[in-house]
Structure 1
Amino acid sequence: MVTLNDVQFVEAARGFAQRMIRQSTDDTARLRWAFLEAVSRPPSDKEEAVILRALARERARYAADNERAVKVLSPGESPRDSTIPAAEHAAWMQVATLILNLSETVTRN
């Protein structure tokens, strides 16, 4: 639960999402870059499909409630890139949280 709720982990996910967004304008390219950064491998076809569906769901959720997006992005001390729309940033932050909580990310063999 710490990796999902602690301010440091939330802030890390926000920063990772920011880096993903800056990598490309293509969702699949962003996701593949993030996997290589986090677990040193590309996502499987199944992982990619599941996470892209989650991204679509989160985009819709935050697009419908921008105030919630701003709130979820607010924890921590480091400033967020305000040139990124809050709903888009919050959606990618949820993707970052998914990736950062993979067992491969948390525990290395």
Structure 2
Amino acid sequence: MRQALESGACRLLVLDLARLDFCDSSGLHELLHARANPRHVPLVLAAPSPRFVRLLELAGAEGVFVLAGGVQSAIDYHRLESAWQRQLDQEKPGEDAQEPGGTP
């Protein structure tokens, strides 16, 4: 995981948790560290179990990660979010704003 993030070639990291049977505070620490990567690579956790989601809740980290039902859902989410962000970046602030006293 760290190698993928540090390589610079990774634009999205999806971790498939479908077969994850156990995760403790050490595993959660690694995930938090990965999420805070200096390259700002999005991290999506796919197919987390109810037990894992409960771990996030107990640790107060339930809102920290993007959770997806599966790997394809994670990829689709990232594509939509990226497209939305590109659209926002293209819009200029105040483009639709009217001058005070102007007419519609």
Q: Which has the higher contact order (CA 8 A, sep 6+)?
A: 1
Settle same-fold status: TM greater than 0.5.
Answer: no
State TM-score, norm by structure 1. 0.29
State TM-score, norm by structure 2. 0.30
Is the strand fraction higher in 1 or 2?
2
Is the helix fraction higher in 1 or 2?
1
Greater C-alpha Rg: 2
